[in-house]
Amino acid sequence: MVPASPFGLSDEVAAAIEDGQPLVALESTIVTHGMPYPQNLAMARRVEAIIREEGAVPATIAVLDGRLRVGLEASELEGLATARDAMKLSRADLAYAVAFGRTGATTVAATMIAAALAGIHVFATGGIGGVHRGAETSFDISADLEELARTPVLVVCAGAKAILDLKKTYEVLETKGVPVVCHGADELPAFWSRGSGIPAPLRLDSPEAIAAFQAARQSLGIGGGMLIANPVPEADALPQATVDGWIDAALADAEARGVVGKEVTPFLLRRMFELSDGRSLTANIALVENNARLAARIAVAMRAGG
Ligand code: PSU
Ligand code: MN
């Protein structure tokens, strides 16, 4: 049975919304499917702490026993980080988990839907999904791109994940009218690396400027989301050529094992972790933390701007 309200805010998030405090949404697929335990839990806690340090309130989103939760208690976050059977939920199956009492982690797409429902306008993650390499035959394109086109949430990431076809990913975003703003650089980042060789369509250098851009979009009645690409900090970045070698090997393994559908991204991230001796994970954690900080500053700037 579907509960009377399938939607539940934590006390902290409810109070923050009531008081008009800045909020930052966080996804949970990165916790359940994107990183191994216990690093996933440490990352999730640290990211929440960074957002608080910056004067905003974190709202980690997931479906727990059929309830779409916005803001998790510490014990719930820990339960999710150790869960073995959590679903990976996107727009297509978010409501399935709610209808049938399931527990699942939200991807970028599903987190945007929940954030918008709760009135949260800013969301931090690692890297969005996008157009997979070979999509011209597999048709594997993440639902994250369509969600950015339709749901008015600003997503801070370190670029689309470099396992993807980045050029095609940014072409699709342009077609769909999603602004791609690079923070503090002229070249789009490639998740674990700072450069992709792709020029940034737009560049802005401060949270205030990003908030002003979003306010102008709203005043023009332009719907949909916006992507902020924030390069991984220099100290934690991995050289692009090294990463490319691991990606080629990981993609070949996925192909050999016939990995398809929503398993592709978690499989590739796991293989990257193994092939890089954990270096991909260290960079991934650093970039998520960096994105959380920027997202919190944007949320604060949006609040200050009215
Ligand atoms: N960022 C990370 N690690 C992840 C993800 C993002 O650093 O695991 C997740 C996000 O939830 C994103 C998903 O929405 O990967 C993309 O999956 P797919 O390609 O199947 O749409
Ligand atoms: Mn896919």
| pLDDT tens-digit readout, 179-201 | 999 999 999 999 999 999 999 99
pLDDT range class, residue 152, cuts 50, 70, 90: very high
Cα-based distances in Å from 20 to 101, 139, 302 = 31, 42, 11
How confident is the model over 55-98, as pLDDT tens digits? 999 999 999 999 999 999 999 999 999 999 999 999 999 999 99
In the chain, the domains with their CATH numbers are: 7-305 (3.40.1790.10)
Residue percentage of the chain with pLDDT more than 70: 98
How confident is the model over 253-288, as pLDDT tens digits? 999 999 999 999 999 999 999 999 999 999 999 999
Single-letter amino acid code for the residue at 230: N
For the cut 90, the answer to whether the pLDDT of residue 129 exceeds it is: yes
Q: What is the pLDDT of residue 7?
A: 84
How close is the Cα of 219 to the center of ligand 1, in Å? 31
Tokens, residue 62: 């997931």
pLDDT range class, residue 161, cuts 50, 70, 90: very high
Tokens, residue 240: 């692009």
CA distance linking residue 299 with residue 228, whole number of Å: 13
DSSP sequence for 136-156 = HHH--B-HHHHHHHHS--EEE
For the CA of 88, the nearest atom of ligand 1: 11
Q: What is the pLDDT of residue 11?
A: 95
**ipTM > 0.90 (yes/no):** yes
Single-letter amino acid code for the residue at 239: P
Annotated ligand binding at 108? The verdict is: yes
How close is the Cα of 143 to the center of ligand 2, in Å? 7
Q: What is the pLDDT of residue 5?
A: 77
Collapsing DSSP states into helix, strand and coil, what is residue 196? coil
How confident is the model over 204-234, as pLDDT tens digits? 999 999 999 999 999 999 999 999 999 999 9
Does residue 213 contact residue 183 with C-beta atoms inside 8 Å? Answer: no
Q: Is residue 27 flagged as an active site residue?
A: yes
DSSP sequence for 222-268 = --S-EEEE-PPPGGG---HHHHHHHHHHHHHHHHHHT--GGGHHHHH
**Mean pLDDT across the chain:** 96
Best residue among 161, 230, 263, 269 to mutate for probing ligand 1's pocket (most ligand atoms within 8 Å of CB) is: 161
Contacts of 105 (CB under 8 A, 6+ apart): 27, 28, 29, 31, 32, 33, 62, 63, 80, 86, 87, 88, 89
For the CA of 164, the nearest atom of ligand 1: 19
